[in-house]
């Protein structure tokens, strides 16, 4: 089945630790995104990548890092520099660089930092 997979679904970390969230897609999509959602709020763009080996900062990139070494994978690292990392993280992918298409989402990762 084609789709986009995030893991883990729930993640607990101690304050000050870096943590990496996984996102994999087998939809052959060029573009991938990471969003953060806080309770009762909308989605805010952290990073996005339109093609392998390239990515751009979104609106709230501080304290986060990404890599795009493979088309299928776009992992997000939440660093200790992120002041308030507890949130719901959503990964999405969409079409190609030249064609605007809708985004498909993974099921999300709920990160809790204690």
Partner 1 sequence: RKEVEQDPGPFNVPEGATVAFNCTYSNSASQSFFWYRQDCRKEPKLLMSVYSSGNEDGRFTAQLNRASQYISLLIRDSKLSDSATYLCVVNPKAAGNKLTFGGGTRVLVKP
Binding site for partner 1 (CB under 8 A): 30-31, 33, 35, 41-43, 45, 48, 50, 56, 88, 90, 92, 94-95, 97-98, 100-108
Cβ neighbors of 2 (< 8 A, separation 6 or more) are: 26, 27
- Grouping H, G, I as helix, E, B as strand and the rest as coil, residue 10 is strand
Q: CB of 49: closest distance to partner 1 in angstroms? A: 10
Task: With beta carbons less than 8 A apart as the criterion, state whether 59 and 34 touch.
Answer: no
Closer to partner 1 by Cβ: residue 28 or 107: 107
User: The tokens 């990471």 sit on which residue?
Assistant: 34
What's the closest the beta carbon of residue 114 comes to partner 1, in angstroms? 20
Residue nearer to partner 1 on the CB measure, 18 or 107: 107
Shortest reach from residue 109's CB to partner 1, in Å = 10
Rounded to whole angstroms, how far apart are CA atoms 47 and 58? 5
For 19, the enclosing helix (H) or strand (E) is: strand 19-25
Beta carbon nearer to partner 1, 26 or 56: 56
């Amino acid at each position: 089945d084609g789709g986009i997979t995030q893991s883990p679904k729930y993640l607990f970390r101690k304050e000050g630790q870096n943590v990496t969230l996984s996102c994999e897609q087998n939809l052959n999509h060029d573009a991938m995104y990471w969003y953060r959602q806080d309770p009762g709020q909308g989605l805010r763009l952290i990073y996005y990548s339109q093609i392998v080996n390239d990515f751009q900062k979104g609106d709230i990139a501080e304290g986060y890092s990404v890599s795009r070494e493979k088309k299928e994978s776009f992992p997000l690292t939440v660093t200790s520099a992120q002041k308030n990392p507890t949130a719901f993280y959503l990964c999405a992918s969409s079409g190609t660089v030249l064609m605007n298409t809708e985004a498909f989402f993974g099921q999300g990762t709920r990160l809790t930092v204690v």
